[in-house]
A and B are shown apart, each in its own frame.
Chain A
Amino acid sequence: MPISANEVAQIAHLARLAVSAEDSETHARNLSEILDFVEQLGTVDTEGVDPLAHPLEMTQRLRTDEPSEPDERERFQAIAPATEDGYYLVPRVIE
């Protein structure tokens, strides 16, 4: 399935990735090749076959709804680029 540079821009937007105009052509060519390659899945008869999401088909283990981890905010904030009064500081991006 050929992917155009415009479609690359749309996919990149959905993935929140900045892709330069000059790289778009390369991405379009690579994505087209990869999608062509995976197209062969269409030749397999999967009528009535259940999808397999987990190789051991385990169900998700649940725990009781009780706190199990201590408060480690200070230790975690020690590695953050910038904090103030217990909050993480991030660039102002909303006017």
Chain B
Amino acid sequence: MAETYQQGDVEPIDGSYVHVDVGGVDHRIYFEENGPEDGIPLLCQHTAGNNCQEWRHLLTNEDVTEEFRVIAHDLPYHGKSVPPTTQEWWTDDYTMTAERFTETLVNLADALELEDPIYMGSSMGGNIALELADWYPERFRALIGLECGAHSPGFYIDWLDHPEVNTTEVNAYACWGLMAPQSPEGTRRETMYLYEQGATGVFKGDLYYYSVDHDYRDKLDQVNADECPLYIANGEYDYLTTPEDGRQTAAGIGEGATAIEFAEIGHFPMSEHPELFNAYIQEVLADVTGDRDEELPDVLEPDDVGIELHQQGPAREKPAE
């Protein structure tokens, strides 16, 4: 269930811009945060083609922000992070790569002077946890890859940036089935609404990283999860990176990698079903901080975290006779 607010309520989220060097070029990056200044930094990465608004329900969750300084940013070209003003960016296709993505995240963490942060991202933000663990394991306290897999082919689709297709709508509704049908319709629709705000070509450009550049099937032994704990948490309804994909990825990495299935939820857990995700992720965060006594289970169910599911199925009232 979404939070309820009253007239005049102001959410405790602060928004700011920070300048970050990526590839020798200044980028003005927007981020939102909530939580104590000396809290454990929790850097949250949005999915391909989306923006930091996906994390708004985590940013206002008092159980989390009491301990963690939650920070959610817009990657360059996404949300409020405009393209770099010193570049003729309009003469090139936007294309995300693993090198560019990791450099942005590490340099952002440096620019914000985050000490020993936890990184968490979903989808492309989940996959990049493998590169971060491979290339920058010393920079993070832990990595949480939501909807993470060694390889996620098949979603670099030409129709997502085509002049004869309504890409605003298609970019969103190509993702509709990535969510669990039992997640609340309102938050599923909001997730798609956020997708409809993306700039032309950016979603497809992100998917170059997601479906083409990212392939760790033969490189899992390079991932340093023994140096930096890596959590791979995949939703039951994620058809791109299934819970089984997550288990195989963690098994291939070995020491330090933990796979967990989030039941009854999909590929956009933080925005499609915030109440359930916020409860699930607190179990993972408690494991990161050592506040959890038992090992994480293979599967987390709504009952395990005291959540009663929203009315199931496609809600639509039968008209009165």
Determine if chain A interacts with chain B.
no
Task: Enumerate chain B interface residues (CB-CB to A < 8 A).
Answer: none
